[in-house]
A and B are shown apart, each in its own frame.
Chain A
Amino acid sequence: MDDLVEVKEVRKIFKGKGKSPDVLAVDTVNLKIKKNEFITILGPSGCGKSTLLRMIGGLEKQSEGIIYLARNEITGPSANRGMVFQAYSLFPWLTVEENIQFGSKIKKMESAKKKAITQQYIELVGLKGFEQHYPKQLSGGMQQRVAIARALANEPEILLLDEPFGALDSQTRLIMQELLLTIWEKTHKTILFITHDVEEAIFLGTRVLTMTSRPGKIKADIPITLEHPRSYKIKTEHHFIDLKEQLTELIRSESLKSIELQAQ
C-alpha cells in the first residue's frame, strides 16, 4: 500500500540568536507512515520530537530534506493535518461546540451538516451536555477531549498529537488513553503520537519509534502486535511487560546520553 506520509532525509537546524550556537535538533530522519497506522514516538526530552511533528504539521520548515503527504510536498500547515497540542490550545472565547466547528466554518460547510458532524464528534469524545460550556469551565482532560474532537471534526488525513496527555494527572491520563484508542479502533484514523511515557506508547501504538538524544534520529522501529480491541488489562500481560522493559532500556540509555551531553 502507498505511504500516506513520507519524511525523506529531513534535518532541522535552529539558527542561534546572538551568542547562542546553532542547534541541530533533528538529524536525517527517514520515516514512512502508512494509512491507518497509529504510530507513537518515544524519545528523551529535548531530542527533537516536537520539532519533527511540527515539520510534518507544516508549522516549522525543515532545513534539509522533504516531507510528502500523499505524494504532495508539505509546504505549510493545512486542514489535512490535524494537530493536538499539550494544553491550552482551545479558543477560550468559543464554546465547546463552536471550537469543534472552527474548521467547518472555514470550509463554509452548510449548517445542517456542520451540526451533525459536531454532534457526532462531541458524542465520540463523551462530552454530550457540555456543548455550550466555555473552555475555562472544563477540566484539563475535558479540554483535551475537545481539542481531539476539534481536530477530528475537520476530517484530516492524519492526526498529529504532541504529548496531548502530558499535562494531565495519571488517572485522567489513563482514561484519555482508552478513549483515544477506542476512537482509533472505530475510525482507523492515521495517527502520529508523541509521548515520554513508554507504557502509553506501547498501549496505543501499532508501531513505536524511538529517537536518539539530540540531534534526534530514529533509533528503533518496533511493531506492536498486541491484538485489538485492547483493554487496559493488557498492561499486565507478559508480552506487554517484555516490550516495556525493552523500550525502557532503549530510552534510558538515550536519556543518560543526553544528560552527559548537557553536563559537558
Chain B
Amino acid sequence: MTKGRTTVTETIFLKEEKTVRRKKNKDLLKPYKPISKNLYLTLCIASFILLVGIWSLLTYTSIIDSVFLPTPTDVISSGITLFTEFNFVNDILVTLYRVLAGFVLSLIIGVPLGIFMGSFKIVEAFFEPLVSFMRYMPVSAFIPLFILWIGIGELEKVTVIFIGSIFSIILMVAVEVSNVRRELVEAAYTLGSTHFGVLRSVVLPASMPGIMDAIRLVLGWAWSYIIVAELIAAQTGIGSVIIESQRMFRIGDIIFGILTIGVLGLGSDFLLKSLSKKLFAWNYGR
C-alpha cells in the first residue's frame, strides 16, 4: 500500500476487500467458499478415523469373521512381521523404483509431445488419432505380450508403467495447452512476441499448473498398473507380496500391502501437490 498518500480509488478498493473478508466467516455451504486451515485438517483426519472406526466395529465385534477381514491390530502386527522378517522395505523400494522409472520416462517424452500437439495443428493432426487409439487399449492386456517380448525382468515392469502412462500424459497435456486463454496469446503478440516467444513465455507458464494436475492424476493410475504387473509376474515388489500372501492365505499381509500402496500414492500425490502450490503460487491466490 502507498504509505500516507492513498488515493481515493485505492481507499475504495480497500473497503471492498474488508467487506469481502467479513462475509467469509459465514455460510460454510456456499460453493467454493474457502474454510480455515484447522477445520480443513480436522475434517481430513475425521474421514480416516471414521473408516478405521467402521472397520474396528465390524471386526472386533466379530460381525465379520476375522479369517476374511482381520482386525486393525492384526493387520498392524502382520505389517511388523513383513518388515522385520520378510524385508518388506526392499519390496517397497523395488515397486517405487519401477513406478518412478517408467513414469519419469513417460514424462520426458510425453510432456514435450503434448505441448507440441496442443500448440501446433500439424502435430495434432498427425498424433492425436493414433494416441487416442493407443490410450484406449488397456495396458494390463498388453502384459502377456510384453512378457513374451521382453521377459519378466525389470524392463517389462518399467515398460508397463511407461505405456500405461504416456498416452494419457500426451493427451492431457495437449488439452491443457490448447486451452490457454487466447487473450493471453494475443496480448503477447501485440507486445511484440514472436511465435517461439509466445510458446515459451505464455503457453508454457500458463499451462504449467494444469500439466502438474495431469501428472498427479496419471501417477495415481500408474500405481495400479505396477501392482497388476507385479501380480502377474514378479519375485519382488508389493504386488508380488500380495499375490504370495494370497497363496498362503495371509489376509493381514494382503491388506497391509494394499494400505502401503495407498500411503505411497497419497504421499506422492501430496508431494506433487505441495510442489505445484509452491511453484505456481500465482494460481492458488485468493
Contacts and interface: CB of A to CB of B under 8 A. Distances in A.
B282 interface: yes
B202 interface: yes
Nearest to B17: A139
A126 B10 contact: yes
B151 interface: no
A82 B190 contact: yes
Interface string A125-145: 010110000111101011000
B186 interface: yes
Given A139-B13, A175-B9, A59 B192 contact: no
Contact of A102 (B1, B8, B186, B191): B191
Interface residues of B, number: 33
Contact of A129 (B2, B8, B9): B2
Interface string B261-286: 00000000000000000001111011
A92 interface: yes
A135 B285 CA distance: 9
Given A93-B206, A126-B9, A134-B282, A81 B184 contact: no
B166 to A, nearest CB: 27
Contact of B190 (A77, A90, A126, A136): A77
A76 B193 CA distance: 12
Output the residue of A78, A79, A92 with the most chain B CB within 10 A. Answer: A92
Output the residue of B183, B192, B206, B285 with the most chain A CB within 10 A. Answer: B192
Contacts of A81: 190
Contacts of B2: 128-129
A89 interface: yes
A164 to B, nearest CB: 12
Nearest to B1: A129
Contacts of B286: 136-137
Nearest to A54: B186
B184 A91 contact: yes
A126 B1 CA distance: 11
Interface in B152-206: 181, 183-184, 186-193, 197, 201-202, 205-206
A103 B192 contact: yes
B190 A92 contact: no
Contacts, number: 94
Nearest to A178: B9
A90 B280 CA distance: 16
A85 B183 contact: yes
A92 B282 contact: yes
B7 interface: yes
A78 B282 contact: no
B16 interface: yes
B12 A57 contact: no
A91 B202 contact: yes
Given A85-B187, A129-B1, A139 B285 contact: no
Contacts of B202: 91
Given A91-B202, A129-B1, A78 B190 contact: yes
A103 B189 CA distance: 10
Given A93-B206, A106-B197, A79 B192 contact: yes
Interface in A64-110: 76-79, 81-83, 85, 88-94, 102-103, 106-107
B206 A59 contact: no
A150 interface: yes
A83 B192 contact: no
Contact of B187 (A83, A106, A107): A83
Contacts of B181: 88-89
6 contacts: A59-B186, A59-B189, A77-B190, A85-B186, A103-B192, A106-B192
Interface of A: 57-59, 76-79, 81-83, 85, 88-94, 102-103, 106-107, 126, 128-129, 134-137, 139, 141-142, 147, 150-151, 154, 160, 171-172, 175
Interface of B: 1-3, 7-10, 12-13, 16, 181, 183-184, 186-193, 197, 201-202, 205-206, 208, 280-283, 285-286
Given A77-B190, A91-B206, 7 more contacts: A91-B184, A91-B187, A91-B205, A103-B192, A106-B191, A129-B3, A160-B190
Q: Which 9 A-B pairs have the closest CB atoms?
A: A79-B192, A77-B189, A136-B285, A103-B191, A83-B190, A89-B183, A129-B2, A106-B192, A89-B187
